[in-house]
Structure 1
Amino acid sequence: MLWFGAHIVMRVFYKDGDQDNCLVMENVILISANDDEEAEQKAETIGRSLEGDSEGTFTWKNRPAYWGFVGVRKLVEIRNSKSSNDEVDDASEISYSILDIESVELLRKFMEGEEITLKVVE
């Protein structure tokens, strides 16, 4: 069994109208899988499970909103050379980032690994 860090990208969508920017959060989730294809499938399932609006209570900047799954930006195989056994749980979040991206086109470039300028909100 292999371990992967799956970079799952979620986006805030406002329910009450247009929005110019793409506020996204990149979660790094720990995945156990036999290969990268299985890890990708598991990451997509986890990403889709994170979608929602907390039963209608989620807001961002005082506007009703919801989290939408954008995709898996990358998978990184994780190795722990200092441990004789792996003491982690499948799907444990190991990091996250909140990013403000100015447009959907720049979000597409970000997802494809192209260089863009963005704002880290954290």
Structure 2
Amino acid sequence: MAEQDTLLNAVIGAVATALLSGFVPFAPVFGGALAGYLEGGDRNDGLRVGIISGVIGLVFAAVLFALVFVVFAFVLAGAPRAVGALGFLFFVVGVLFAAVYVVGLSAVGGWLGNYVKYDTDIGN
């Protein structure tokens, strides 16, 4: 992959996050690290591509979470209105947690991927 092709590297990192998230804990770190490693540049470039990778991964996760939420809402369609309010609160908390988890860990991974590329023997 070409260095400094930020969008491509971010998408590769987001795809890695999506593929690993089913069975690897803290998968966004690995996706961000892959994106940061491929991006090259300095630490800020690794951090930036990690954040972009996390945002792309978050969009994928939010779409999936919204689909599950809608199906869950239809299943509970006959429930009282309080369940609807609690369901909405659950949705908001879930989205906030996912944002911090995916974007934050991807940013850390982007920084680490850049570190591995330039400051260890692994990247040479």
Tell me which protein shows more strand as a share of its residues.
1
TM over 0.5: no
TM-score range for the pair, normalised by the shorter chain length:
0.3 to 0.5
TM-score (norm 1): 0.34
For the pair shown, the structure with the greater C-alpha radius of gyration is 2
Tell me which protein shows more helix as a share of its residues.
2
TM-score (norm 2): 0.34
